[in-house]
Amino acid sequence: MDVQQLIALDNAHVWHPYSAIGADLPTFPVASADGVRLKLADGRELIDGMSSWWSAIHGYNHPVLNRALQIQIGKVSHVMFGGLTHQPAVALATRLVELTPTPLQTVFFSDSGSVSVEVAMKMAIQYWYAKGQPARQRFLTLRSGYHGDTFGAMSVCDPVTGMHTLFSDVLVQQYFVDAPRCRFGEECDDAELVSFRRQLEQYGHKIAAVILEPIVQAAGGMNFYSADYLRGVRKLCDEFDVLLICDEIATGFGRSGRLFACDHAGISPDIMCVGKALTGGYLTLAATLTTEEVSATISSGEPGLFMHGPTFMANPLACAAALASLKLLTDSDWMANIARIETALQAGLAPCHELPSVVDVRVLGAIGVVELKEPVDMKTVQPLFVDHGIWVRPFGRLVYLMPPYVISDEDLALLTQALLRVLSRC
């Protein structure tokens, strides 16, 4: 089919994320992708500033990842994980245990980030059930957070700005505290944690776990907060005997400048969720890691097993891609590379401070954010970015960049210059 036929059929039959059928918004067919460039069906090439929603950290069509999948598909592309196991899953679980904070020793695979959050929440509830405290079924979390689009995950997203207000009457009501005001790199005094302490004092007997995005609140506002705050939360969880879940789906595998964002604070959660960049963007895969204390308690209590099991759990192709992606990352000087990207983003986005429409510009690791006074008009701004040769997908008042780690200094400069030109026009 030609491009116009493809777009017409897409508009008639295909749902896109947070969209309406027949929505009068531009959609751009991709014909191929290589390195950091997307080639559209009309022949235009775009520098990808989004890493396909933060997952394609090694870019596209990477020969090492391609080869890993070619080898694995010749062996077994999928097999049920109930009663069977395979080398890619065992090797990946072992590698994740090696890379994550030491107390995390067991791994549960799932299909997506949202499901890994559901798994983490179910782990926390089942842990307390096994310990004879079945009343602990609620969660404490931060406003401006985002943890996914499934029902459990929606309940711990910001109830006002988290895109899920429509479902508020059917979601489990959780406990919330205001997002930290102390920014990354700043000290955080005890006053910032007063409301957190009060919630634990009042509702701790009902709370199974605290769940938060460490250091970087991503889709909920691209807020970068103090490592002191995260350390304070860890201490409060210990004091009130509440589990801590760190959602590292957006931040894991180097994006914030550390392998995991909780490393900035030197803390370890009781449960950690990872996804997105895990497979380098090749296939959907996520994992929920926990401690031997949590896993042993669940396994020894009623009903004697963890109550979850996705059909495509630990898919061999996805696990093979993840192993290859992690090797590419850890065999490189990734920390220096992220620092290089951070420096380029700081320099390239600095002129945005001068634009009258801009409230703030902030950069952490390979994340650059331009916060505007007013929400962007997607119908206008998306084609402008494409016309300027870049792929950037803003939301609300936030225009942000999370480029692939393989991006060159030259392409980083082109990316930030084009973003500046578009924002200047808007």
The residues annotated with a catalytic role in the active site are 18, 146, 247, 276
Greatest CA separation for the chain: 62
CB 89 within 8 A of CB 314: yes
Buried b or exposed e, range 375-399, using 16+ CB within 10 angstroms: ebeeeebbebbbebebbbebeebbb
